Each structure stands twice: as C-alpha cells, then as structure tokens.
Structure 1
C-alpha cells in the first residue's frame, strides 16, 4: 500500500483520486506529523466491496452455507449443471 504525506496528497489530489479509481492500485495511506491522524483513501468500489465482505462474514447463516459448500467441494460431493439463460 502506497503511503504519502498530507502536503503531497493535497498538492496532487486529482492525480491520487484518479490513481485509486483507475489504476486498481489499492488504497493510499495519507500521513501527517501525528501518526494517529493518518487516513486511508480508497475507491468507492473497493469500499463497497469491503463492506459487503464484512456483512457476509458477520452473517452466521450465510457463513454456515459457505462452509457447507466448501466441505462439499473438498469432498467432491457436488453436481455440475449448465447455466440456464433466460431471454
């Protein structure tokens, strides 16, 4: 993860916004003199993905289904089928 100073981030704000959105470079840490004031800048797409992952991980019902699917796959206890296309 790239790390830059606040002053450089502010000076080239447009460049860094494009970078996190267009280049799939991941989040950028923006630092300041006080380490506790550091922030992370990420694309909305990455943020939404992270939030959805947290929702799934915190849902015990969904995680039970995921673990069951993993067990079935590992034990080769599954069936494959063609996808149905609806016009």
Structure 2
C-alpha cells in the first residue's frame, strides 16, 4: 500500500483516484498528526471487504466452506453441473 501526504494527494486528486480505481490499490493519505491519517480505496475494494466480513462472521456459511474444503482436499467431493449448463432452466 502506497502512502502520500495530504497536500500532494489534494493537488493531484484526480490522478490518485484514477490510480486507486485502476490498480485496486488503496492509498494511505498521511497528515502531520498520524491519528488523522486515512486510507482511500475504491468502491469495489470496499464492497469486497464488507462482503468478506459478512461471510466470515456467518458461522453457517463458514462451516459449509470448511466442509467443502475438507471434502476437496480428501478427494471425497462430487462434481455437479451448474444450473443451466446441461439443462433448460
């Protein structure tokens, strides 16, 4: 993650926002007082983080993921076609 000071970020806002969106790389915007520093990230990255937090905090979903991971690593899984692949939905 790159860091840029507040003044430079402000002066080149358009360029930094474009880079953040194109590279999906957040930036730390620093200030003289470190407790006021912020992280700027794209909406897509933010949405991804929120979705990941929701999934990992859901014990039911995490149980299903862990069970599937175990089945895959043990070779005890069954492969299924996705709906619509070989059937009319």
Establish whether TM, by shorter chain, passes 0.5. Answer: yes
Structure 1 spans left out of the alignment, 5+ residues: none
Query: Secondary structure in 1 aligned to 2:32?
Result: coil
Aligned pair count reads 86
Q: 1:45, CA displacement in angstroms?
A: 0.2
Structure 2 spans left out of the alignment, 5+ residues: none
Give deviations 1:15-61, integer Å, cap 9, x for gaps. 1111111233x100000000111000000000000000000000011
The list of structure 1 runs, each at least 4 consecutive aligned residues, that deviate by more than 2 angstroms after superposition, is 81-87
Specify the alignment match of 1:14 in structure 2: 14
- Give, in whole Å, the separation in 2 of the partners of 1:5 and 1:42: 15
- Give, in whole Å, the separation in 2 of the partners of 1:54 and 1:82: 29
Specify the alignment match of 1:71 in structure 2: 70
- Give, in whole Å, the separation in 2 of the partners of 1:39 and 1:12: 16
Cα RMSD of the aligned pairs, angstroms, is 1.3
- Give, in whole Å, the separation in 2 of the partners of 1:57 and 1:84: 26
